[in-house]
Amino acid sequence: MAKKETFNLQEHYRENLALLWRKSPFVLRITTWKAVQGPVLVVKEFREYTDKTKDAQPLLNLPDIGKKGSFAERGHLRGESLRRCLPILRKIVEGVSDKAGIPLDIHRCLTPEGLRMQVNLPLNDDSGAKLALLFRLQERISDLHRVELIALRIARFTREEALYWHSRTTTFGLDANRWAIAGLRILLGGQSQDPAVEVMLARLRRGG
């Protein structure tokens, strides 16, 4: 019987992922912060500048040679919220592939082994918008049931839904963005102490 080949995560990152993130619309950064115990996930979005506005261009504009821009942070996830949502995050990034349509296996980096690395992971616009929404909406929510519920419902978004709601929370001005975030928290995660949160969460866990 042939011996099963061991998957080398570090080698996989060097050969298949390390050179892609600079040309991706979103990036997922695995890092650590001095004041925080454990890994921190940070999602960033590429924003292209123009001489006229010095502001972001359309959401789907990809970074490439000759384009000027930078990656803007769109939120982070850490601690118990990260541990609670990790299986959902892996599901969200499973569909990320290269230009030839070959899966990049980014979900393998969202494991105990992968979270010990400090790397940048390329995301497509679908997974990037979903993670950006989740990371932003879960801020200031201490109820982990609500956090998980938001994650499960965002994971079910279509690409178009994710991009639309992401744009509503980032491109309409500070006040409108803030209102959209507050509204989406309730729309997707209910309110604190609402017993319906656990009922809906249980149904979604069963795939309902």
pLDDT at 141: 96
Residue pLDDT, tens place only, 19-32: 999 899 999 999 99
Strand-strand pairing, 40-48 and 69-78: antiparallel
> Could you give the CA distance from residue 120 to residue 34 in angstroms, rounded to a whole number?
19
- pLDDT of 1: 53
In this prediction, residue 208 carries a pLDDT of 75
Tokens matching residue 160: 């178009």
47: DSSP letter:
E
**What residues of the chain score a pLDDT lower than 70?**
1-5, 50-67
Q: Which of 103, 115, 92, 114 is nearest to 20 (CA)?
A: 103
Domain ranges of the chain: 9-205
Q: Which residue type is seen at 20?
A: L
